[in-house]
Amino acid sequence: MADGAASFGARLDAAMSTRGALCVGVDPHAALLRAWGLPDDASGLERFARTVVEALADRVAVLKPQSAFFERFGARGIAVLETVVAEARAAGALVVLDVKRGDIGSTAQAYADAYLDPASPLAVDAVTVSPYLGFGSLRPFVDTALAHDRGVFVLALTSNPEGPSVQHAVAADGRTVAQTVLDEIAAVNAGVSPLGSVGAVVGATITGGTGHDLAKVNGPLLAPGLGAQGATPADLASVFGSALPWVLPSYSREVLQNGPDVAALRHAADTVRRQCASALGRPA
Ligand SMILES: O=C(O)c1cc(=O)[nH]c(=O)n1[C@@H]1O[C@H](COP(=O)(O)O)[C@@H](O)[C@H]1O
């Protein structure tokens, strides 16, 4: 454990206990900026993202900005992202930057330094990463995260319909590609209590009993795909089975479409948090 702080897994576990299991994505789609009456430029981006932070950062466990929506405004967009990350963390939310990185090891280290070293201007609590250059290529992310009490969420069973063509492919030893990813995560998290700092991304849309062993991951299971992509809290039990205690449900558009009214954003987040709590068997 670094810096005398608690591990990301421990901080997330505590946040899910005190604030409830909910991640809200900060996804400033152009269409949402329009719907909020904002210009599709860096000033509109800033108003949008800071309103979400004002509404939700003091009450939800996790905020998850989607990096591309900030990057599309260049340096000004990145400056907004830095502000949003700092304000969200100051208000007590954990920040997971959805940036889906993955590269050869030497370059992966530079990405890890950019997002997971507290000395970086863009340091966050955790990032999303892609294992499809081989799980071993993620070692710099995992090592840097653990050294600084940060986390990573590794794409395993993504919510998009194209995912299974790669992730359900069967490797030489008979496991699916996704199961090999889940097993690698489990190995990193083995023996860690209360929760490992390496999570898996498992879409709530992955219904139909895929037979993957999620319970032994011993880390958080980020579950996007709820709301706008069609999955509902009622799907969580069949997708996650005995792994329900580790599920972190994630919504973006379903909540964001209620802005810019702060009270309406709070009400929407509270509604989905309660619906998910009931599905996950957590206190409301
Ligand atoms: O890593 C992610 O966050 C992610 C993984 C995945 O499998 N599916 C998925 O939708 N996401 C992200 O989660 C968010 C979903 O947004 P909504 O569909 O509006 O709730 C987007 O920012 C996606 O990029």
CA distance 18 to 84: 22
Rounded to the nearest angstrom, the distance between the alpha carbon of 65 and the centre of ligand 1 is: 10
CA distance 74 to 79: 9
Shortest-distance Cα residue to atom 20 of ligand 1 = 252
Backbone angles phi, psi at 73, to 5 degrees: -105, 15
Residue 234's Cβ-count burial label (10 Å; 0-12, 13-18, 19+) is: exposed
pLDDT score recorded for residue 100: 98
What token pair was written down for 173?
């030893």
Could you read off the pLDDT of 152-174 as tens digits, one per residue? 999 999 999 999 999 999 999 99
- The closest alpha carbon to 276, from 19, 17, 22, belongs to 22
Could you read off the pLDDT of 174-231 as tens digits, one per residue? 999 999 999 999 999 999 999 999 999 999 999 877 889 899 999 999 999 999 999 9
Report the interhelical angle of 105-116 vs 139-147 (nearest 10°).
30
Ligand 1 atom nearest the C-alpha of 159 is 7
Residues with a known catalytic role: 100
Could you read off the pLDDT of 239-280 as tens digits, one per residue? 999 999 999 999 999 999 999 999 999 999 999 999 999 999
Could you read off the pLDDT of 76-87 as tens digits, one per residue? 999 999 999 999
Rounded to the nearest angstrom, the distance between the alpha carbon of 224 and the centre of ligand 1 is: 5
User: b/e string for 31-63 if b means 16 or more Cβ within 10 A?
Assistant: ebbeebebebebebbbbbbbbbbebbbebbbbb
CB 200 within 8 A of CB 167: no
Ligand 1 site, CB within 6 A:
25, 27, 66, 98, 128, 158-159, 201, 203, 224-225, 227-229, 250-254
SS3 129: strand
Shortest-distance Cα residue to atom 5 of ligand 1 = 158
Could you read off the pLDDT of 86-96 as tens digits, one per residue? 999 999 999 99
Rounded to the nearest angstrom, the distance between the alpha carbon of 146 and the centre of ligand 1 is: 24
Q: Is the dihedral of CA 200, 204, 205, 209 positive or negative?
A: positive
pTM above 0.90, yes or no: yes
Residue 282 has pLDDT above 90, yes or no: yes
